[in-house]
Structure 1
Amino acid sequence: MTHKRSETLCDTSKVFGKTFIHKMRIKIKRTTILLVSLALLTVYIKLSRITINSDEKRELSASSSNSGSSAGEPPHPLIYDGKHVMPNSIDPDKLDPHIKHDKGDITLEELMKKNAIAPFEPGPHKLLIVSYRAADGTLLGELVDNSAHAMHVTEPLDGTYTAMFGSRDFIVPEDILNNKDGTLRILPEGERDAVANVLGDILDCKIEGIPTDVLTHPYWFRKMGSQMSNLPLIECLKTSTLVFHRQCRPLMMKDCPGRYDPSLPKTPTCKTILWDLLGGSRSGEYEGKPDSTVTESVKNYTNCMADARQKIERCERIMHTYCSNTNLRGITVVRTSMDVAVPLMEKDPNFRVIHLVRNPQAVAAIRSKYENNSQSYYGLGDPMREATMYCQQVKHDREVREDLEKKYPGHTVEIGYEDFISNPISYTEFFFRFVDFSIDSDVSDYITAYAPLLQKEVNDWFADAPYNIARDIRDQCNVLWYGKAYGF
């Protein structure tokens, strides 16, 4: 009986074993079929894309021929839904509006022939780099930052605007440079001069004139990678400045706009009180100055910032000492226009300006990623709107720079981001010729290590850019910059 039961159990286990093996074989077959199907589907999709791209290229060629046969007629519009990516359909360079910029290799000698360079007078050399959000403005600033006996400050204007208008920090640059409808905003003279004065005080090492909001701003820590030349100051500021920044700022939220908006009635009123009357929290505690518009919250805010100022007196001395011992002083800004360079150049023969611009298609693609985000408050997440705002600002800044260059030859230059990345050695050498400063070994190491990475990423935006949008941005910006659109 026991023997039969054991045989039964053995037979049962064999059956279960065979069933398990059979099921596993079925699963393996199904998995194999699924993998083969996915592989075939992938090949099909790739072949379809190649066919689509070939058809688009043929249509592109045909449209160009049609445009050439009919004088004055625009190229035949491409039939494209704007949703699918065409990474292999056209070289990004053919979409680049920088048609007057450098293509391919360029030597230092060629750059020297193209651009005048004025000699410096005795004294420190001062540089302002004017750039834009999403244009990688810190690229050139880090050349200064990696140099010995040099100092570089990244974006001190956010703190300047919070001190001037009482708005919260991290102001979106487009809020300053554009109106709500996307049109260009020209800085009022008083605002321009206030910004220029702060920049001038930094370049002149007049630390006592810098608003407390600037010295206590989180940018000292968040942008630390491009401000390593200020490491002694940053180490000093670590102790208490962020605490004061968080404590004082909310005191103004009741009386001044949370977000900077020059169209609101409160905005100019706050500037009148905080900047014109109270000196941008630079002159100590509120002293009961006779003005009925100074509310209790303004008094509390000013006193709070005065307390913060006292706490960082040692840091001020450190910055002043370090700054005074530098021979090259640079600032990179994205929250102002080229207009601020006018009063600075008028009073200082050693002041120089570099205008760093980038392909507007790349700028628009990067900015548009902030759709439904506060950073796209004016751009509305629309790449065409972002590109238009950017290109009209570049156009204005170019015109101002060109006027300055006529008046002060060799004091300004424009550099294209893509040009620099394509020719990093030549442009680095030219950069230091322009500011009349020797190239430090750390700078050479930085360029050697960093440039190849940037070269790989410079056209990353193109992989996500719908073809028709990139084309329209090119044409729109060419109209703004050169007076006409260029077809293929």
Structure 2
Amino acid sequence: MRGGSSIAGELFNCDPAATMWYEPGDAFFSSYYGLHHENLPQNDLYFRNMTRRKLNRDELEANVDFYNNIFSCNYERLPPEVMAHSFLGQSTAMDGYVKCRRKVTRTKHLDIITCKRHISHTCSRKMVETSLNSNCHIVIRALNTITKSNPSVRNERSLLKLVQKHLHENGFNIPIGDENNLLQFVKHGHCIEIMRSDNFKCLHLAKKKCQTDNLLVVQVNRMKMEDLEPVIKTNPDMRVIHYTRDPRAIAFSRSRTGILIFDKINRSSVREAEFVCHKMREDLKQRLILEKKYPDVFTHLTYESLATDPERFARRIYEMLNKTYPEEWKPFVAKHMYGKSEGSMFGITVKNATRTAFRWRSKIPKYQLDMINGFCGDVITGLGYQL
């Protein structure tokens, strides 16, 4: 977050022959753990004490399948929350699907949050840790299994008994609450199935666009670098852009906007930089390992190179792909990266990109900068930045 990946994604969103997915991982965790959507990445990936959690085996396998289905245009196999998510509205390629689905659902007043409210009292609106402790993912998976194997069973009480039987037979002795509490999961499941049906009525539009496009791009902020290998193996023509921003700039931007992950009380750039560098250090380490195994897959690009020379940035990416970058990129750059306004906290905004990229240099006090350079030095230089 605050790394500029959304504005980099607009390069592909400008391409008429590309489909750009903006961080679908949010919908994955919403479906897997019963969370509300539009969540913050740290709530999915970290515990409350800010240690990074390791995905369990089933979760990792589901995550890999999730991205493989996106890359294969198998949208019908995605959790319904994905094709009902608000982020699709950002993608130009999804415009036809989004408009179609809006017509289908305009009188139903049913969305992701409506479905999740059934289980919010047991699970969490936003924290994976809470849902994990409540075993929400186990009940949701059990219900999904029962629904797929018993499509003719619609009665909620009948489904409830089947879920109870499934949990018992598979050794899940979980304290999920009384029977009425478990019934709310069944209601949640019914709500999600209605969503699936609504999605399906328009899904052909999204699939057709995906199948005819020659480029499919996914913004991934919720996956560790080390977890990418199974996806790379399954998709031999896949290319990975490791897109970074100077960690000092990220920490400064978060402290300025008040969306710090680590030290929300003191709004300290120093503490935030320490947190950011720990994550970036691990990703850099794993990328260097994977690059040796897959030498033609990875490319490292920076927000700073985008901000200073967006045309060269675009040309480098499309040369790697043996394609010509879209002419539509130039007017986007003129409007959204070199306007007078500094923009807002989130999203694709009008701003002076070069000034934004390097403002931290004159704003972070020297004593703080020395501290950050001390514990982030290896990451800063490893990513090609200067101390």
Short-chain TM bin: 0.7 to 0.9
Residue 446, structure 1, aligned to residue 345, structure 2: no
Q: Does 1:137 align with 2:5?
A: yes
- Residues 280, 199 of structure 1: alpha-carbon distance in 2 compared, 3 angstrom cutoff: farther
Displacement after TM superposition at 1:234 (Å)? 1.8
Structure 1 255/431 Cα, relative in aligned 2: closer, same or farther at 3 Å?
Answer: same
The residue number in structure 2 matching 1:219 is 87
Cα distance change on mapping 1:462 and 1:473 into 2, 3 Å: same
Q: Quote the offset at 1:378 in angstroms.
A: 4.0
Matching residue of 2:183 = 296
Equivalent in the alignment of 1:101? none
Bigger radius of gyration among the two: 1
Q: Aligned runs of 1:92-107 on 2, under 5 Å? A: none
Residue type at the aligned position of 2:99: E
The structure 2 residue matched to 1:278, chosen from 144, 160, 173, is 144
Structure 1 residue 159: Cα displacement: 1.1
CA displacement at 1:480 relative to structure 2:
5.1
Aligned pairs for 1:313-352 (under 5 A) are 313-352=200-239
Q: Using the TM superposition, give the Cα deviation of residue 282 of structure 1 relative to its aligned residue in structure 2, in angstroms.
A: 8.3
Distance change in 2, residues 1:394/1:186 (3 Å)? farther
Aligned equivalent of 2:342: none
CA distance in 1, matches of 2:249, 2:235: 35
Pair 469,190 (structure 1): closer, same or farther in 2 beyond 3 Å: farther
Going from structure 1 to structure 2, the CA distance change for 1:454 and 1:340 (only over 3 Å counts) comes to same
Is the counterpart of residue 411 in structure 1 residue 297 in structure 2? yes
Map of 1:287-436 to 2, 5 A cutoff? 287=159, 288-289=162-163, 290-292=165-167, 295-369=182-256, 371=258, 375-376=259-260, 378-380=262-264, 381-436=267-322
CA distance in 1, matches of 2:283, 2:102: 36
Determine if the alignment matches structure 1 residue 149 to structure 2 residue 35.
no
The more displaced of 236-245 and 203-212 is 236-245
Shift of 1:195: 1.9
Q: Residues of 2 paired with 1:175 and 1:387: CA distance?
A: 18
The CA deviation at 1:462 is 4.5
Identity of aligned residues (%): 20
Is the alpha carbon distance of 1:300 and 1:437 closer, same or farther for their aligned partners in structure 2, counting shifts above 3 Å?
same
The offset of 1:208, in angstroms, is 0.9
Selected match of 1:248 from 106, 110, 115: 115
- TM-score (normalised: structure 2): 0.80
Q: Contact between 2:36 and 2:112, CA under 8 Å: does it hold in 1? A: no
Change (3 A) 1:376 1:282: farther
Structure 2 Cα separation of the partners of residues 435 and 139 of structure 1: 19
Which letter maps to 2:22? T
User: Residue 455 in 1 paired to residue 354 in 2?
Assistant: yes
Distance 1:405 1:469 in 2: 34
User: Is the partner of 1:415 in helix, strand or coil?
Assistant: strand
Aligned equivalents of 1:351 and 1:159: distance in 2?
22
Deviation per residue, 1:354-378 (Å, 9 max, x gap):
111111122112222454xxx5454
Partner AA of 2:297 in structure 1: H
Cα pair distance change 1:192/1:378, threshold 3 Å = farther
Contact 1:212 1:282 in 2 (8 A): no
Figure out how many residues of one structure are paired with residues of the other and give that number.
Answer: 346
In the superposition, the TM-score normalised over structure 1's length comes to: 0.65
Within 1, Cα distance between the matches of 2:386 and 2:241? 30
Map 1:46-61 → 2, pairs under 5 A: none
Please list, as runs of the form range in 1=range in 2, the aligned pairs for 1:124-273 lying within 5 A after superposition. 133-221=1-89, 224=90, 227-239=91-103, 240=105, 243-262=110-129, 265-267=132-134, 269-273=135-139
Greater RCO (CA < 8 Å, at least 6 residues apart)? 1
Between the aligned partners of 1:159 and 1:246, the Cα distance in structure 2 is: 12
Please name the residue that 1:474 is paired with.
Answer: 373
Cα RMSD (Å): 2.9
Report the 3-state secondary structure (helix = DSSP H, G, I; strand = E; otherwise coil) of the residue aligned with 1:355: strand
Given that 1:395 and 1:481 are in contact with CA atoms closer than 8 Å, whether structure 2 keeps it comes out as no
The question of whether the paired residues in 1 share the 8 Å contact of 2:35 and 2:126 is answered with yes
1:378-425 CA distance string (max 9 Å, x none): 443332222122111111111222222111111011111112322322
Deviation, structure 1 residue 203: 1.4
